Structure 1
Amino acid sequence: MGMCCFLYLIYLLCSLFDPINAEKFDYPIANVSTTWTNSLALEHSVNFTDGSSVRAILLRGATGFYGPSFACGFYCNGNCSSFHFAVFIVYTNSGSRITNPNLGFPQLVWSANPNKPVKENSTLDLTKGGLALRDADGVLVWSTNITGSNIVGLNMTETGNLVLYDSKNYTLWQSFDDPTDALVPGQKLVLGKSLTAMANKAGDNSFALSVTNTGLFASINSDPPQFYYQEEVTGTKNSTKPSYVRFRNGSLALFILSAEPNKPDSVISTPLASSMQYMKLESDGHLKVYEWSDLSGWIVVADLLTGILAECGYPLVCGNYGICSNGQCSCPGPLGTGGDDNTTFRQLSARQPSLGCSRITPLSCEDTKYHRLVDLNDIMYFYSPPDITRTDIGSCKNACLTNCSCEAALFQYGSNSSDGDCYLPTQVFSLVNNVKEETHYNSSAFIKVQVSPVIPSSSPSSDPKFKTAGTATIVGSSVGATVGVSLLVFVILFLIRKKKNVEEEDDEEYLDLVPGMPTRFAYEDLKLATNNFSTQLGQGGFGSVYEGALINGTKIAVKCLDGLGQVKKSFLAEVETIGSVHHVNLVRLVGFCVDKTHRLLVYEYMCNGSLEKWIFPKTEEHILDWKTRQSIISDIAKGLTYLHEQCRQKIVHLDIKPQNILLDANFNAKVSDFGLSKLIERDGGEVMTTMRGTPGYMAPEWLSSVITEKVDVYSFGIVVMEIVCGRKNLDRSQPEERMHLLRLLKEDKGCNIIDKNSDDMLLHREETTEMMKVAAWCLQSDFARRPSMSVVVKVLEGVMEVEPSLDYNFSSGITPMTTAKDLDKQVQFRDSTPLLPSLLSGPR
């Protein structure tokens, strides 16, 4: 009894003298119709000596006398001119008060708006439809976008999960499903989700940790991504593929889906942590586990991604082009001997060598004849792609020199340099000194640089001997010059003719030198793989597609390009461009074939075929539910966003339609047949071409001869309308007044034309009506009023809203009834109005 009184007295004294928020509070739950304003007026605001500040709106109190606890609210770190709505860990005492500001600084573990902070007086609204974060000017920054729901409350759980729930206590949304750069114990990282972190070095690089069907991977963004950590799961059966990883005590454990429906998922058991932990993907690419210590605060207890290369195995440890050796950074050396100054690279900062190196003379594709390679022996790279090319060291170097997009030739081999692995990256991060005793192979790096042309210091006419030449010499020189010129003209004409003949043969050889090219197949191998092209999957404007299977069992789709006259040009364009384009919502080019007159492309096989058969179904088994349709629309939008705004060279598809949207086994949608059309340079250069596309999906501006990427946005709007309505834009089987879907959208604004063959669609009328507004926005007659595809993605994710004042007086675009005279014209490509940074920097 005496001990209890003593502890209670201590508690009262702490309450009286705790300078930080002495009022008791423990408020883990909030009800709907609540609004919080981000200001000092919030009751539970705490400033910390490290410069951070929290304004808690929900707190799950400590389970013990003192300890770390989860809270959510507004968080800032620095001058606090901008805030994030976040979940953070704070230190509390037994009265559930945030305390101990000199040691227990807040630790951010989730943020709703990591890339778009809000200002003072921003607001967070909790309604029946979910959470909505608005900046001080009222602009919507982020929302949970749960339409058609009936939310009753918000809960900050003991495990750090922020949950929206309904009257039956069913979870409708949770922060655990959308991690940012951290995980807390018990939280999953599932397929399709990633931890991301911006790099701390200059530039726009970022790191990502993600789960795929083959394992756990950490990468740095490039095109394609370069991996610096790979934990692959062997085997091909479903029972051996990872479903997700979960944060357990000090580690990530790969969970394997059980093949038996009632059997729990399998995972290696790990002991429970002795104190609060969280895991964070850092700005240097490290994945560190932090644990609370009562004596030291937050300490690092594990660094999970560090492998055999130790610190040098991280992509930006020494910045771009920097060479890492035992943690020390240096730049590539000189080009060679024979010049007064043959230095090729310099450090960005002499005081901070880890910031990396830059070329003294920038590379120029206009002067490729002055490209040279700096030879770096016993230098390796952190990344080796799985589909790397086997060749000799000379061919590897030549392949880089003959293609401007190649930045370096990285060669790795055993004892014989005539047989090794050649990797030609288009972006080079940190290099590594190769310790052969540890790696057990040889390696060399050849970094491309630009050398200056040699300019003679004086002309021959300044030589005194030249000035004393006699008249006979001048006459002789004139005759000689005439003969020389004639001979030169003859040689030039001969070489031009020979070059023209040789170029036809070199086209095929050139394809082997394209960096990062997919696999090259022999025609006979593809003929065998497709059983002599017996099973046709479809046919389009560029050729027929056949089903096939490689020797290892991998299913493929083989496209045979038709029409030899145009095939070579379109084939080269697609192989060179698409071979380097990688995105989860774009159909992947596996390989190609060049064999005499045969031109074939080998794509990944999409087992559920084209979208067309699923949205215009003939049987009930092909009818899609609303959630699947919604996901497909989002996938298409993300694929087009990548083509329009994130490729090195903008790609406008020009033929978006259901037949060119393919579905995999999980109904993930991928855009196909991109890269076959003209490419538009980012600098707004104009290209002339003829009209192309599919009537019914072509924007009205095709008739005005001014084309931008907004033609894809229009086609996307038609496809969205067809997906939601479950019928074609032009359906001649309908009565005349209902034949044109666009006309029906104009009349009732999408309220009564959704697919009535699906009961599930009828249950989501509010959401489908909102989706039809997205379609209407994309179908604006004035292309300048249509959104960019990145804006469409933000609308679909709920972080932006549809333009409120839409014009429903749609132009019908190019239909099958459009006259041949209208179609017989050339068109002029132009880049649309450049996107403002604010449109591209929101949360993704």
Structure 2
Amino acid sequence: MVQIQPIVPNLTTVSSIFHQISKALSVLLNESKLPVWSTNVTSTSGLNSAVAVILDDGNLVLTDVGLNSAEPVWQSFDHPVETVLPGAKVAYDKRRNKSVPLTSWKSREDPASGLYSLELHPVRLMVALKWNGSIQYWDTGSWDPLLANPFYKYNYTRNENENYFNYSAYNPSVISRFTMDVSGQFQLRTWSESTKAWNIIWAQPENQCQVYALCGNFGICRPTGLSLCYCMTGFHPRSQSEWNQSDFSGGCVRKTNFNCSGNDEKPDFLTLKVTSLPPNNSVAVGSVGECRTTCLNDCSCNAYSYVDNGCSFWNGELSNLSEDNFNGKTMYIKVASKDLASLKKNKTIIIAIVIGPVASGILVIGLLVFLNYRRKRMLAGKTSMEGSLVAFAYRDLQLATKNFSEKLGGGGFGSVFKGVLRDSSIVAVKKLESISQGEKQFRSEVSTIGTIQHVNLVRLRGFCAEGNNKLLVYDYMPNGSLHSHLFHEKQENVLNWKTRYEIAIGTARGLVYLHEKCRDCIIHCDIKPENILLDGDFHPKIADFGLAKLVGRDFSRVLTSMRGTRGYLAPEWLSGVAITAKADVFSYGMMLFELVHGKRNTERFEDSNFTFFPSLAANVLKVGGDILSLLDSRLNREASVDEVTKVFKVAYWCIQDQEDNRPSMSLVEKILEGVSDVNMPPIPKYVNFFVDKTEHNHFFTKISSNGHSQSNFSNVDFLSDSASSS
């Protein structure tokens, strides 16, 4: 621990760090003597000799050595700002009837209080995220059981003075912290000694566009864009420098202000599709035309919408808008006419292209000639790279995908759309996000990925790199992802056991190729059912290999945004050590359990209970029980007992705590093919953690008023609103 020099009453030296002012402990700037921070704690009798000590856990403790008391005068763990370290509190003060919130910084560079905070509920066992201390945009509800794990212990304590939540790490070497981030997300970060950086391993809300007013007034949140926020047409950032630093809270302002004095600058309307409409003033008018006219003639009206024969107006500044061009609700934003001129000009050109051929046979012929030229260009005139990889023009892919209208899926790397090339071949086009590489480096990396070809890997056919547009073109897999077949309740199209076993072997072969047969070992980093695609014959093909390297340093952030990824992450992702191919082995093992069971490994229920399937299976495997009782119930026990047992043994070997104890994928392949035998595996520690506790697992350990633990993730019910406070 670090001891800071004693604090003596009436100390006036310029070099002092801590000082007593009006019986309150404060920090001063060394030269100016102006207080920049205070504990806000006063002493009625004055302090004899106060000592400030930073403990090994990061807690700054102020004690009065002149008093015969072990209680500190003040400690930072009782007063967190934006970060909670293990042992620190997130509390509700019953004496003041007030929450002690975590509050974000104002910006990345300014530690003043920001707009976002996290507060503990005064009665219920939950926390909520709020904007400006008033508008709640996320809460834990039934706590996420994925956080109930052997890496961290979460405690909730109630006594006569306060309720509080804190946590501790079972492995003290794992350096972690919870943070109320300036982005509005509540994040859990761990320190990576290898990269000397904090890695985000959990963040809520996962979709950042759910953060209230993330993009400020008149800003639009785009969940799949290269930038989260953008200004709608006719507006620009209030502070471009802040936006360049990804601080969007200042929002957008009009490029051109219009007034109601009757001058020649007239407003018009911009059409916008949003996820949900903000609170509004409703007015009963007869038609959409009357709704538009009413808003146009009302100087204070900034936008209108006409939904279900009802007209809604917005008079103030608009915030909390999220783009949804597929299923969104339509709003009409009032904008200066001249700011819409260029947009209307483009629309006029498009209309002319569409109407022209109808009016003129000559233009029809010209259009056919033009399209034939485009077809030849796509089939023969595309820029070839090393091997057969092709460079597509962005407009060609827009045409092939019908302007990206048929979405197949999406994840942290981007969204995937179905497309048809001019030769009638069907492709899957992935629009990449979070790619900050320049075009030259991007082409180089993609060229390398393009040379990697194997029967169990999705073939990369081409790419597009035009400015900020980075896209990859893959073979289309008609049977979709393994995820779509495992995790649905319908009885039709259920994968039989033979197909599942072949999928396990084929996926192993693909990973062997990536890990051992390529010039450089390629670690996938995101093996899960969503990334195992099935061709027309249900042969497995691994997707998204090599993309971790394209994302580079931002990969940790991308991982946290992938829905469902965390349940497949190896322990080393949490500890911060270097990631090896054995991380893929772990993820593969977790996927094997789901391949057998046909459900997610972690199943949650409305009463906040959850089950962890690897622990359930461990109970059966250890005692030599009915192994087919663990099989997907839709298979009606139609499977080979030997093969199911073998898959379970392999799965447990793959998810061993220490990566050195996990097999290579080549050994896994040999075992599944019957070339090598497999012994009974030891059950990993974190799986044993839930063994015999799999029926009633909860997020928190309840602590009684005397501070003693009553139980540990077992048979602990959430405290209801009417629970006793003692």
TM-score surpassing 0.5? no
TM bucket (normalised to shorter chain) is 0.3 to 0.5
Ranked by relative contact order (alpha carbons within 8 Å, sequence separation 6 or more), the top structure is 2
Give TM-score scaled by structure 1 length: 0.33
TM-score by length of 2: 0.39
